[in-house]
Structure 1
Amino acid sequence: MGIFRSSKRLALGIDIGSASVKVLELSTAGRGFKANRAGVEPLPKNAIVEHRINDLRLISDAVRRAVHHSRSSRKKVVVSVPQTHVITRTINLPAGLAEREIEEQVMIEAAQQIPHSLDEVNLDFEVSGGARDGSDDQITITACRKEIVEDYAAVMELAGLKAMIVDVGLSAVERGYGFVAQTLGDSLEGRAIALMDFGDVTTRLDLFVDGRSIYGREQNFGGRILTENVRSRYGIDYREAEALKRGGDLPQNYEQDLLEPFRQAMAREAARSVEFCLSAQLGMDRVDALVISGGCVQIEGIAALIESHVGVPTVLADPFGSGSAIKADKLVARYGPSMIKAAGLAVRGAR
């Protein structure tokens, strides 16, 4: 089970978020992919706490239900650990080294640069090339504490599945963003595109240039704020509040009293995140476009409202949209804005 190693068997992509489990099955189709099977299952509150698995049994049950809803028969899976638990270091080595030689150098560098005993971490590396002097390869070393990786593998085992690859969350998002970028039309070479994911507890902005994230920042804001407001206002429990919020069966004053203030808060958070990004001394004086993802972006008119606050073109992120290499049927396509990471995981199990 590796971080960058390829799977030789067909596998599902499974994204475990703080509020739901998202399952996606991709298959190769010509030069692209087809997505005919997907499933989403909500997670109980506090099943994930501070990006860590808090209840193996609850999450494995949700995974099992999501796979059942997807109607996939695959038993091998690709999952990811949150970026907050990942340590990444980059080194340069002479081009053309044998893999054994690279591994030896990686272990030496990791022992010096990883702030944990190597016995306590899962370690992997990727040769990406591109060192500035042209004669070296760039090696990305990635490490995660074994207990974190083992929790995700244990969830899959309890659900009757086997984790073939435990990926890095940001790497999966970068691959998923690649499909989103294909839907944006014009060439994006050299352009700065911000991807903002509105999660249940946190919201994250990544700035992409030429397909790679060069900046990332999380803030404590998410859809749970709205759920808690619904729960408090109408005197119901959390699960019922979440169900009512998703189903839209709420009193008439809901939109004016609760939904509209939350929409405005989303727009302010987006504007603040972009401001932080531009002040991070990246050599960027503007963001060319903003793409937004997550369950909250299904709120009607939210892209236009955010655009009015941020001042840059804003669209929903959809890895299944027109121009993407992934062709999805209608039942799968409806999940598009929530499936970026899942798409980045599933593509590793499609070959």
Structure 2
Amino acid sequence: MFSGLKKSSNALIGIDFGSNSIKAVAISKGKGTFQIDAVAEAPIPKGLIVDHHFEDIAKLTQIIKQLRKNFPTSYKNIAMAVSGADVITKVISMNADLNEIELEAQVELEAENTIPFPLDEIYLDFEVIAPNATDKSLNDVLLSAARIETVQAQVDCVEDAGLTTKIVDVASHAESRACELLFDRADYDKGIAIVDIGASQMMLNIVHQGNVIFSRSKNHGGATCTQMMAEHYNMKFSEAEKAKVDHEWPVDCDVDVIAPFVNMTVNHLRFDLRMFTNAPNNIQVDKVILMGGCQLMPGLVTQLEEELDLDVEVANPFIGFEYKNESDKTLLHKVGTKYMMALGLALRGVQ
């Protein structure tokens, strides 16, 4: 949550702006569990969101207005996330004796020296997360920065649709918050790899003791598979996308397209995990949690388990939730992993 946008919040709609669709979740907290009050997804035409940038706010505003009709009228506040090259997070160490004003001044100085954007062009936020593991006179501080123009484009889009932005989060933090619903007590001290494979991007975040300690992303996702299918069978991209989503592809597609795509995905993840294990830390990855629509690809989970020699879990905490509408229960029990980012954002209103 970036300074300048800090307000109290409840009854939030968590909105995930993907390159292929916008997904949204509204939740409330009941007796001992969460209730899904509403969920919705709206496809967006190709090119409206490119590399996390909003290319046509007017058209996206109209899509959000239509999406809004799926939610109770009491839900007017939004939590959303920013990601990509215009967002930077890092953990810095600061003297534990600094008071709030002194800490803020030191963080700004550190940001000015290490963030590759002028301070007047960014929203800047920080949070003391824990004492430093090796020097108790220091605190580890999570520093987050995002380009103002990137944040403001999303805010304008939402507010032009008649809604109010209450929280702007960082995508990796929202995802890890949702995945924490799946953790058991032993997972807290382990390295957990959260892998989000969407339409155009694959994001890896390593979580340890509640903090994201490593992040990598690359341009690889479901659209890559769709393009491979379109080229192999001489189909239009839209035709290939429908065939992929409906799992109505030619018999030989499993061997000629799906298997090569799954191999490519496994190799990308293996490389990124190696980058983490080669870094100077003593943390081992013990589990992989998969999220995003692309994880539904046949054979991906099995191949990841076999080749990485790790436990692989498909993220879907929605199975333990209560539901206001039976249709939402049916949807989320089937493809809930696509809505993990939106869930992580909506949780900001009930925690």
| Superposition TM-score tier, normalisation by shorter sequence | 0.7 to 0.9
Structure 2 unaligned runs (5+)?
Answer: 324-328
CA contact (8 A) 1:203 1:220 kept: yes
1:312 counterpart letter in structure 2: L
Match of 2:298 in 1: 300
Match of 1:169 in 2: 171
CA contact (8 A) 2:12 2:349 kept: yes
How many Å separate the matches in 2 of 1:275 and 1:162? 42
Match of 1:335 in 2: 335
How many Å separate the matches in 1 of 2:15 and 2:288? 25
Q: Cα distance, 1:291 vs. partner?
A: 1.5
Identity rate, percent: 28
Structure 1: which 4+ aligned runs deviate by more than 6 Å? Answer: none
Q: Cα distance, 1:123 vs. partner?
A: 2.1
Instruction: Report the 3-state secondary structure (helix = DSSP H, G, I; strand = E; otherwise coil) of the residue aligned with 2:189.
Output: coil
Match of 1:277 in 2: 276
Please provide the CA RMSD for this pair. Answer: 2.8
Change (3 A) 1:313 1:109: closer
TM-score (normalizing by structure 1): 0.86
Give CA-to-partner distance per residue, 1:237-265, whole Å, 9 cap, x none: 33333223212333333333322332333
Q: Cα distance, 1:216 vs. partner?
A: 1.5
Q: Cα distance, 1:107 vs. partner?
A: 4.0
1:35 counterpart letter in structure 2: I
Q: Which of 158, 161, 172 matches 2:160?
A: 158
Q: Cα distance, 1:109 vs. partner?
A: 4.3
Instruction: Report the 3-state secondary structure (helix = DSSP H, G, I; strand = E; otherwise coil) of the residue aligned with 1:207.
Output: strand
Match of 1:33 in 2: 34
CA contact (8 A) 1:205 1:217 kept: yes
CA contact (8 A) 1:25 1:72 kept: no
Structure 1 unaligned runs (5+)?
Answer: none
CA contact (8 A) 2:9 2:166 kept: no
Q: Cα distance, 1:121 vs. partner?
A: 1.6
Q: Cα distance, 1:181 vs. partner?
A: 1.9
How many Å separate the matches in 1 of 2:246 and 2:69? 22
CA contact (8 A) 2:270 2:308 kept: yes
Moved more, 158-167 or 226-235: 226-235
Change (3 A) 1:140 1:310: closer
Instruction: Report the 3-state secondary structure (helix = DSSP H, G, I; strand = E; otherwise coil) of the residue aligned with 1:30.
Output: coil
Instruction: Report the 3-state secondary structure (helix = DSSP H, G, I; strand = E; otherwise coil) of the residue aligned with 2:217.
Output: strand
Aligned counterparts, 1:137-156, within 5 A? 137-156=139-158
How many Å separate the matches in 2 of 1:119 and 1:251? 54
Q: Cα distance, 1:292 vs. partner?
A: 1.3
TM-score (normalizing by structure 2): 0.86
How many Å separate the matches in 2 of 1:13 and 1:147? 21
CA contact (8 A) 1:14 1:21 kept: yes
Match of 2:285 in 1: 287
Moved more, 84-93 or 15-24: 84-93
Match of 2:206 in 1: 207
1:8 counterpart letter in structure 2: S
Moved more, 304-313 or 26-35: 26-35
1:226 counterpart letter in structure 2: C
Change (3 A) 1:83 1:313: same
Change (3 A) 1:333 1:158: farther
How many Å separate the matches in 2 of 1:75 and 1:20? 20
CA contact (8 A) 1:36 1:332 kept: no
